[in-house]
Amino acid sequence: MKIKDRKKQIRIITVLGACLLLAVIYLSGLIYYSSHFLPSTYINEVDVSNRNVSEANEALAAVDPVFTVTGRSADAGQTEEKIDLKKLDPSISYDSSSLLKAQNSPLWFTVLFGRKDLKCDHLSGTYDPQKLTELVKGLNCTDPEKTVMPQDAKLDIKDGNVVIVDAVEGNYVDPDTVIEKLQAAVDSCLAGEGEAVLDLTPYYEVPKSSEDLQLSSLKEEMQKVLDKTVYIDIDSSQEKELQGTELCDLLDVEEDQIVVDEDELSSFIADLCSRYDVSSSEYIDRSSLKTDLLGSLTSKEDETVSVNWVYERAEGLIEVDISDQMLYYYENDVLILSSPIVSGNPDITDETIHGHYTVQRMSRNTQLMGRDYLEDVAYWIGFDETGRVYGIHDASWRDAFGGDIWLTDPSRGCVNMPTDKVAQLYSYIDIGTEVYVHD
């Protein structure tokens, strides 16, 4: 054999030997890495290079298994919570078997000089479902203090107009739903399926928008209620117009309907009556007025309401009629006593005060003192605010009462009565008896 042919043969044998060696090395690596992780492989930051599933799982057991729950914050942003599944059961750990099956073993030689990071979501172990229920109670997404309840868009009254209040997104999710979905997700991971992630976003309650509720057309109809006027006829000469802001203050919106705020209405009626009531025996019937207003306030058209007056005699009423110069005393609307009087004349002395009062002071055998007089009286019935300035009393210095005496010889503002009549009156009345003085 020629030397040249021999050298050629040696080269062929060398190449074949090298190929055979590489094939053996490749096949050995293929066989080995079909049951072991490739070199420079990290799972959840744990080095599992050249380890089989059992060894890798043992190494991963030192890492607490974490389950990520994605939720929603109060401002509708996204939140993430990490759940340590060891709290459910210490036996729960990561299972790397699915990652080994997924690795590209035929190309094992390509990762000899590069790091490969893997994430393990599959788990193994068992747990008590009751513990999961307790765990859910500690999550932010189920904490009432961190929850803003969603609110549907609604109609409201502001500055005399019906306005649309936008929906509030909120961040409420039913805790029972969280338990159900989290249990299903954990079970899926323990069965070697799914990932250790639960997105709760689709399960949050979603409020209805103004478009959903068709509030725009409803708003226009409700505005008509606010734009009207309710006329309240007090009497033949007085009328109260209820409109604008004053009208709106009595109304509210509930379940997209205009309703009357009865507390505000009661306050309005009390204020109205305090201004127009004549006395405790002549006053506006509050009950019937409230009933009539309840029916008129929510109307879309202008309405007129007439008040009903109540006329009654209070038990124990002293009526002083200046024009007729007479005093009358009633009990339960029955006339008990009448007497002529002498009152003040503003053109000569002091005018007898007019209006509604009550007896404030009662005295026997006292003295009346003024700028230029000092008089003894047997009976004093004071009815001004102090009970000391204006009153009803006897006047022993007079021979006659009633008629036109007050025009030329008036009292100094008090009501003078004959002694026998004032004595009777004194025996009938008490502190607090109503006194009504009028022309």
Please tell me the predicted confidence (pLDDT) of residue 283.
85
Mean pLDDT of 151-158: 89
Please tell me the predicted confidence (pLDDT) of residue 354.
95
Provide CB contacts within 8 A for 94, sequence distance 6+.
43, 44, 57, 60, 61, 63, 65, 120, 122, 123, 124
Please tell me the predicted confidence (pLDDT) of residue 111.
65
Whether the predicted pLDDT of 324 surpasses 90: yes
More confident residue, 80 or 371: 80
Mean pLDDT of 315-344: 94
Q: Tell me the CA distances in angstroms from 35 to 50, 93, 285, one per residue in order.
A: 9, 20, 96
Give the count of beta carbons closer than 10 Å to the beta carbon of residue 278. 12
Please tell me the predicted confidence (pLDDT) of residue 393.
97
Residue with tokens 């209006």: 355
Separation of alpha carbons 243 and 230, rounded Å = 7
Residue with tokens 């009933």: 291
Please tell me the predicted confidence (pLDDT) of residue 113.
66
Provide CB contacts within 8 A for 90, sequence distance 6+.
none
Q: Is the dihedral of CA 46, 47, 49, 54 positive or negative?
A: negative
On whether the CB atoms of residues 381 and 387 are closer than 8 A, the answer is no
On whether the CB atoms of residues 150 and 167 are closer than 8 A, the answer is yes
CA-closest candidate to residue 210, choices 155, 265, 263: 155
Mean pLDDT of 304-318: 83
Question: Which pTM was predicted?
Answer: 0.52
Kindly report, residue by residue over 101-127, the tens digit of the pLDDT.
Answer: 878 777 766 666 678 888 877 778 888
Query: Which of 300-304, 368-372, 380-384, 433-437 shows the lowest per-residue confidence on average (mean pLDDT)?
Result: 368-372
Please tell me the predicted confidence (pLDDT) of residue 297.
92
Mean pLDDT of 202-211: 90
Could you tell me the pLDDT band of residue 390, with boundaries at 50, 70 and 90?
A: very high
Mean pLDDT of 231-242: 90
Could you tell me the pLDDT band of residue 423, with boundaries at 50, 70 and 90?
A: very high
Could you tell me the pLDDT band of residue 312, with boundaries at 50, 70 and 90?
A: low
Mean pLDDT of 319-329: 97
On whether the CB atoms of residues 267 and 277 are closer than 8 A, the answer is no
Amino acid identity of residue 33, one-letter, is Y
Please tell me the predicted confidence (pLDDT) of residue 279.
67
Separation of alpha carbons 235 and 282, rounded Å = 13
CA-closest candidate to residue 281, choices 438, 436, 385, 426: 436
Whether the predicted pLDDT of 310 surpasses 90: no
Please tell me the predicted confidence (pLDDT) of residue 5.
64
Whether the predicted pLDDT of 72 surpasses 80: yes
Q: How many CA atoms within 13 Å lie on the side-chain side of 358?
A: 10
Please tell me the predicted confidence (pLDDT) of residue 266.
92
On whether the CB atoms of residues 164 and 155 are closer than 8 A, the answer is yes
CA-closest candidate to residue 68, choices 156, 141, 5, 7: 141
For 305-314, b where at least 16 C-beta lie within 10 A, e where not — what string?
bebeeeeebb
Whether the predicted pLDDT of 45 surpasses 80: yes
- Taken in order of first residue, the domains within the chain and their CATH numbers are 3-144 (no CATH), 228-311 (3.10.20.800), 317-438 (2.40.440.10)
Could you tell me the pLDDT band of residue 413, with boundaries at 50, 70 and 90?
A: very high
On whether the CB atoms of residues 352 and 415 are closer than 8 A, the answer is yes
Query: CA angle, 373 as apex, 367 and 378 as ends, to 5°?
Result: 25
Q: Residues of the chain with pLDDT > 90: what percent?
A: 39
Task: Calculate the dihedral angle through the C-alpha atoms of 308, 313, 318, 320, rounding to the nearest 10 degrees.
Answer: 40
CA 320 to chain centre: 54
Separation of alpha carbons 81 and 68, rounded Å = 6
